[in-house]
């Protein structure tokens, strides 16, 4: 490979190892057949009587007498048996001069030697038995050949480039040349600020003189953080495609092996390769696998991960680091567990947050993925972007793919708006389970439950606008009540949270009022309401009794790290006051939901019966059924999001009320 790193490595033309292995095997078998006597199949094994008779009759043509161990003679040679009586065919074969091999072992007596000397033997020869050293030579040759083959194979494996025994300390980072990746910044949507910060790094790699003249120093490292699926790895691919410099890509888990010191060796080798091709970029995906915070575990000692991290810290900002030559990009969604020394300026100088996209970002991401899907002309991607809050780029890509699959299932030539909305609901809540057999009384219970949610939400002034109500099972839920806000919300007021608690308890209250009974289907509603109330008291300071004080857990390093926590930030008396205040908030909103449903009992009956008949109703149908003017949200139609869902379950675990039970 040339010094500039822009030419690909020429593939080796040496013969493959398997060829030499097979040649060695053929050589061993060839020697075996060459040194072995293959005439045993054509040799007559004579008895002493037959040999003596043949010797007296002059049938022995030749005799090679080999002196063997323990005073035995091995005699072999040619003989021709005379046909005294037999078939005409046998007489014909023998008269033609057929000679056969023979072999016999006889005791080495003086009588036998005299008989051989006086016998009518044309060729008689005596020799010593040297077969023992021939056997040794044969075994030695085979052993040497096998050893040579094994040595050749292992030596080639150790010298090879693919994970041999001597390659443990070599970096597994794959160098990607500029022409190998086609991803560009145009393919990254929904994170304009993060893209602008990343473009600075690419611009520096293209024109470093512009920054040096101003006295600026490009960050040595940039850490891409954010929830899973927001495009951190995609951003790194775009850098690789735009930078036009060698790009080294590796995962954090590739550094760790079962052998001590391998991770640190791989880190050093990776940076050495990057410096040889400087300027270059190193991308470490999931860096939390190797960059976790160092701590003293039980019993002390060193950890392999700590050695690897120490080597990385030294390479990024040590005495031998090369300013501006190598830029390190890393991605993680667990920035809270990374070592502080890794995050300080001089190593990862810049943290680039790639957060969940807003309404505009979702629209841009949908445009990118819509290029690969045939959409109907009536499709409204703006509406889809408004109805997908909290979706990451990966979720939106999955949504578009599910819409295409649904359109193909229904034999549509194009994906319609209905396909897109069904795909959204499938991604959020699971596929519809229309084949699920639900008893009539449970179906009626679900209808009143969902009607209670919807009706309380409609009559709450600060409630999130209703979007859809359904009693079709999805996943573990028997019914769903969906709410849709018309702007991206980043904070919540106290009144909005109280209305959300009341709406969550509307299903349980409807069961009590209409059926004079309650079910386990409200377990998730109760958990949702309790969590909101607890957050209002302990995190948001919205309790009049306890005041604007933060109550909660405090994390400390205890032996094995920060994942072990102690809840000692408040006294037992305060904890009791928190429980009472949470209970009071929930009970107050439950009474409020009871008052709303009791006052509008006729609307509850009407909506429940309509759900039993139609199964699914959108907000417009609900308002028309109840003869209530539908709120006008045209003033804030610029942004839109779905924020609230209700996933009721048919039963709950008796020991864990928050855990839905399977039916």
Cα(613)–Cα(443) distance, rounded to whole angstroms? Answer: 11
Residue 12 structure tokens: 């080796």
Residue 160: inside a domain: no
Assess whether 544 and 632 both reside in one domain: yes
Domain that holds residue 71: 46-129
CA 607 centroid distance within chain: 46
Residue 17 structure tokens: 């190892």
Count CA atoms within 13 Å of residue 396 on its CB side: 30
Residue 96: inside a domain: yes
Question: Which region, left, alpha or beta, applies to residue 102 given φ > 0 means left and ψ of -120 to 50 means alpha?
Answer: beta
Cβ distance 51 to 106 under 8 Å?
yes
Cβ distance 452 to 604 under 8 Å?
yes
Residue 136: inside a domain: no
Q: Which residue has the tokens 């429940």?
A: 608
> What residues contact 255, with CB distance under 8 A and at least 6 apart?
262, 263, 266, 267, 289, 290, 308
Cβ distance 484 to 386 under 8 Å?
yes
Beta bridge partners of 67: 73, 128
Q: 284 — phi, psi (to 5°)?
A: -110, 110
Of 646, 641, 619, 621, nearest to 384 (Cα)?
641
Assess whether 449 and 407 both reside in one domain: no
Residue 212: inside a domain: yes
Final residue in a domain of this structure, among 429, 451, 468: 429
Q: What is the 3-state secondary structure (H, E, C) of 456-509?
A: HHHCCCCCCCEEEEECCCECCECCEEEEEECCCCCCCCHHHHHHHHHHHHHHHH
pLDDT at position 476 is 75
Cα(102)–Cα(62) distance, rounded to whole angstroms? Answer: 10
Assess whether 389 and 277 both reside in one domain: no
Beta bridge partners of 63: 124
Q: Which residue has the tokens 């990746």?
A: 181
Residue 209: inside a domain: yes
Q: Which entry of 304, 402, 450, 581 is annotated as an active-site residue?
A: 450
Count CA atoms within 13 Å of residue 197 on its CB side: 18
Assess whether 231 and 270 both reside in one domain: yes
Active site residue 99: no
Cα(606)–Cα(596) distance, rounded to whole angstroms? Answer: 15
Residue 462 structure tokens: 């600060």
Cβ distance 339 to 291 under 8 Å?
yes
> What residues contact 433, with CB distance under 8 A and at least 6 apart?
472, 473, 474, 475
Residue 134 structure tokens: 């021939």
DSSP state letters, 70-108: TSEEEEEEEE----SS--HHHHHHHHTT--EEEEEEEE-
CA-to-CA dists, residue 573 to 42, 183, 389, 623, angstroms: 105, 59, 40, 48
Q: What burial letters (b/e) apply to 68-105, b meaning 16+ CB within 10 Å? A: beeeebbbbbbbebeeeeeeeeeeeeeeeeeeebbbbe
pLDDT at position 557 is 42
Assess whether 344 and 368 both reside in one domain: no
Residue 120: inside a domain: yes
Question: Which region, left, alpha or beta, applies to residue 144 given φ > 0 means left and ψ of -120 to 50 means alpha?
Answer: alpha
Cβ distance 173 to 280 under 8 Å?
no
**At 242, which CATH number?**
3.40.50.300
Query: Do strands 480-485 and 641-644 pair parallel, antiparallel, or not at all (unpaired)?
Result: antiparallel
pLDDT at position 468 is 85
**At 458, which CATH number?**
1.20.58.760
Assess whether 509 and 454 both reside in one domain: yes
Cα(661)–Cα(663) distance, rounded to whole angstroms? Answer: 6
Residue 273: inside a domain: yes
Cβ distance 294 to 339 under 8 Å?
yes
Query: Do strands 280-285 and 326-332 pair parallel, antiparallel, or not at all (unpaired)?
Result: parallel
Cβ distance 97 to 39 under 8 Å?
no
CA-to-CA dists, residue 575 to 399, 567, 583, angstroms: 44, 10, 12
Cα-Cα-Cα-Cα dihedral sign, residues 218, 223, 224, 226? negative
Assess whether 333 and 365 both reside in one domain: no
**At 390, which CATH number?**
1.10.8.60
Assess whether 416 and 469 both reside in one domain: no
Residue 604 structure tokens: 């509850």
Cα(299)–Cα(587) distance, rounded to whole angstroms? Answer: 50
Assess whether 522 and 415 both reside in one domain: no
> What residues contact 558, with CB distance under 8 A and at least 6 apart?
564, 566
Of 492, 505, 652, nearest to 590 (Cα)?
505
Q: Which residue has the tokens 């109500």?
A: 469
Assess whether 509 and 612 both reside in one domain: yes
Assess whether 334 and 199 both reside in one domain: yes
Cβ distance 613 to 619 under 8 Å?
no
Final residue in a domain of this structure, among 384, 404, 429: 429
Burial class (CB in 10 A: 0-12, 13-18, 19+), 119: middle
Cβ distance 312 to 348 under 8 Å?
no
Residue 307 structure tokens: 């050695």
Q: What is the 3-state secondary structure (H, E, C) of 508-564?
A: HHHHHHHHCCCCHHHHHHHHHHHHHHHHHHHCCCCCCCCCCCCCCCEECCCCCCCCC
Beta bridge partners of 326: 280
CA 222 centroid distance within chain: 24
pLDDT at position 639 is 43
Q: Which residues of the chain fall short of a pLDDT of 50?
A: 1-13, 38-41, 84-96, 160-166, 168, 296-301, 554-567, 637-663
Assess whether 266 and 346 both reside in one domain: yes
Residue 515: inside a domain: yes
Q: Which residue has the tokens 């008396």?
A: 573
Beta bridge partners of 280: 326
Domains contained in the chain, number? 4
Count CA atoms within 13 Å of residue 346 on its CB side: 11
Q: Write out pLDDT tens, residues 354-404.
A: 888 888 888 999 998 998 899 998 898 988 888 888 888 899 999 999 999
């Amino acid at each position: 490979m040339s010094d500039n790193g822009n030419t690909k490595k020429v593939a080796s033309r040496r013969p493959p190892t398997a060829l030499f292995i097979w040649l060695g095997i053929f050589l061993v078998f060839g020697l075996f057949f060459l040194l072995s006597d293959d005439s045993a199949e054509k040799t007559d094994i004579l008895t002493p009587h037959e040999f003596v008779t043949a010797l007296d009759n002059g049938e022995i043509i030749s005799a090679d007498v080999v002196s063997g161990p323990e005073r035995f003679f091995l005699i072999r040679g040619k003989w021709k048996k005379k046909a005294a009586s037999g078939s005409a065919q046998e007489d014909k074969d023998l008269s033609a001069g057929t000679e056969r091999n023979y072999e016999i072992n006889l005791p080495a007596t003086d009588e036998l030697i005299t008989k051989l000397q006086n016998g009518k033997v044309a060729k008689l020869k005596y020799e010593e038995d040297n077969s023992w050293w021939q056997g040794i030579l044969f075994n030695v040759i085979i052993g040497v050949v096998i050893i040579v083959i094994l040595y050749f194979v292992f030596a080639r494996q150790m010298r090879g480039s693919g994970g041999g025994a001597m390659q443990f300390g070599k970096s597994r980072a794959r160098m990607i040349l500029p022409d190998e990746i086609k991803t560009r910044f145009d393919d990254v949507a929904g994170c304009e600020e993060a893209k602008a910060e990343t473009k600075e790094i690419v611009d520096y790699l293209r024109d470093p003189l512009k920054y040096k003249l101003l006295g600026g120093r490009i960050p040595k490292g940039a850490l891409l953080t954010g929830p899973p699926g927001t495009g951190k790895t995609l951003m790194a691919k775009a850098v690789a495609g735009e930078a036009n410099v060698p790009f080294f890509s590796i995962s954090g888990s590739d550094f760790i092996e079962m052998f001590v010191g391998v991770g640190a060796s791989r880190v050093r080798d990776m940076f050495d390769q990057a410096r040889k091709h400087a300027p270059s970029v190193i991308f470490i995906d999931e860096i939390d696998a190797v960059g976790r915070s160092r701590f003293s575990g039980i019993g002390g000692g060193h950890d392999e991960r700590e050695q690897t991290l120490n080597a990385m810290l030294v390479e990024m900002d040590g005495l031998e680091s090369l300013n501006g030559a190598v830029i390190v990009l890393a991605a993680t969604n667990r920035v809270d567990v990374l070592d502080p020394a890794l995050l300080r300026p001089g190593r990862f100088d810049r943290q680039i947050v790639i957060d969940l996209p807003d309404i505009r970002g979702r629209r841009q991401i949908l445009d990118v993925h819509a290029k690969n899907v045939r959409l109907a002309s009536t499709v409204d991607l703006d509406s889809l972007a408004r109805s997908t809050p909290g979706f990451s780029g990966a979720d939106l890509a999955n949504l578009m793919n599910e819409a295409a699959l649904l359109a193909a299932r229904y034999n549509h030539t194009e994906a319609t708006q209905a396909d897109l909305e069904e795909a959204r609901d499938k991604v959020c809540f699971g596929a519809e389970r229309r084949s699920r057999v639900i008893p009539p009384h449970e179906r009626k219970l679900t209808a009143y439950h969902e009607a209670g949610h919807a009706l309380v939400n409609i009559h709450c002034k600060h409630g999130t606008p209703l979007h859809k109500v359904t009693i079709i099972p999805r996943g573990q839920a028997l019914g769903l009540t969906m709410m849709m806000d018309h702007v991206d919300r980043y904070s919540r007021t106290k009144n909005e949270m109280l209305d959300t608690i009341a709406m969550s308890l509307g299903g349980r209250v409807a069961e009590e009022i209409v059926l004079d009974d309650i079910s386990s289907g409200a377990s998730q509603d109760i958990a949702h309401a309790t969590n909101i109330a607890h957050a209002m008291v302990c995190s948001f300071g919205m309790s009049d009794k306890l005041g604007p004080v933060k109550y909660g857990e405090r994390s400390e390093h205890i032996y094995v790290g920060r994942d072990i926590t102690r809840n000692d930030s408040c006294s037992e008396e305060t904890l009791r006051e928190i429980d009472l205040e949470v209970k009071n908030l929930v009970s107050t909103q439950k009474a409020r939901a009871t008052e709303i449903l009791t006052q509008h009992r006729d609307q509850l009956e009407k909506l429940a019966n309509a759900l039993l008949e139609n199964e699914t109703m959108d907000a417009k149908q609900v308002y028309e059924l109840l003869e209530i003017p539908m709120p006008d949200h045209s003033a804030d139609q610029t942004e839109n999001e779905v924020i609230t869902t209700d996933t009721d379950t048919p039963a709950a675990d008796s020991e864990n009320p928050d855990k839905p039970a399977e039916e």
